[in-house]
Amino acid sequence: MKRILIGGITVAIIGTMTYGFFQWKIVESQKHDLLCGQAKQTLQGVEIRARALAAGLSVEAYGKAEEDEVATLIGALDAAKSDAEVDSVIEAHAATIEAQDAAIDAQVDTRGDQTFLEQRLVKQRIPVDVKQELQRAAKAVSVMCS
């Protein structure tokens, strides 16, 4: 009788510990996903701020400029009469956006640093504190999401 009771208690304790372990792993996984998501969101916010500064605008003005570009595109698409005109409007807009993004991405990706000594000195639009914040956010994403 004692062996059955001790065996039952042992099985109950092992089952409870196993259940607790699996619950702990699930909570840790959710916590990791949440922290990774927050780090990515922070990085995205800092990148938007850096893009606005690289464009020489405030974040609000950058958002307003994007809204104005969308309104202009919608107006041009509404004015288009045929599929060929619609395609040409879209291609022209895409080329404009790609050119702007390439210039801003180059400055944001290098964190505003000038890598070659031969480069002509360009006024840095991204302040040092934003560069450091961008580097910290990128490091936080790499640490949290690994």
Residues 17 and 129 sit within 8 Å (Cβ to Cβ)? no
Cα 98 from Cα 20, distance rounded (Å): 52
Residues 4 and 105 sit within 8 Å (Cβ to Cβ)? no
Mean residue pLDDT of the chain comes to 83
With cut-offs at 50, 70 and 90, classify the pLDDT of residue 67: confident
Per-residue model confidence as pLDDT tens digits over 74-119: 888 888 888 888 888 889 888 988 887 787 777 666 655 555 444 4
Cα–Cα distances in angstroms (integers) from residue 83 to residues 70, 74, 78, 80, 86, in the given order: 19, 15, 11, 8, 5
Helices H / strands E in the chain, number of each: 4, 0
pLDDT of residue 30: 94
Per-residue model confidence as pLDDT tens digits over 33-49: 999 999 999 998 888 88
pLDDT of residue 121: 46
Residues 123 and 15 sit within 8 Å (Cβ to Cβ)? no
Q: What pTM value is reported for the model? A: 0.58
Burial of 36 (0-12, 13-18, 19+ CB in 10 A): middle
- Burial per residue of 41-71, b for 16 or more beta-carbon CB atoms within 10 angstroms, e otherwise: ebbeebbebbbbbbbeeeeeebeeeeeeeee
pLDDT of residue 19: 96
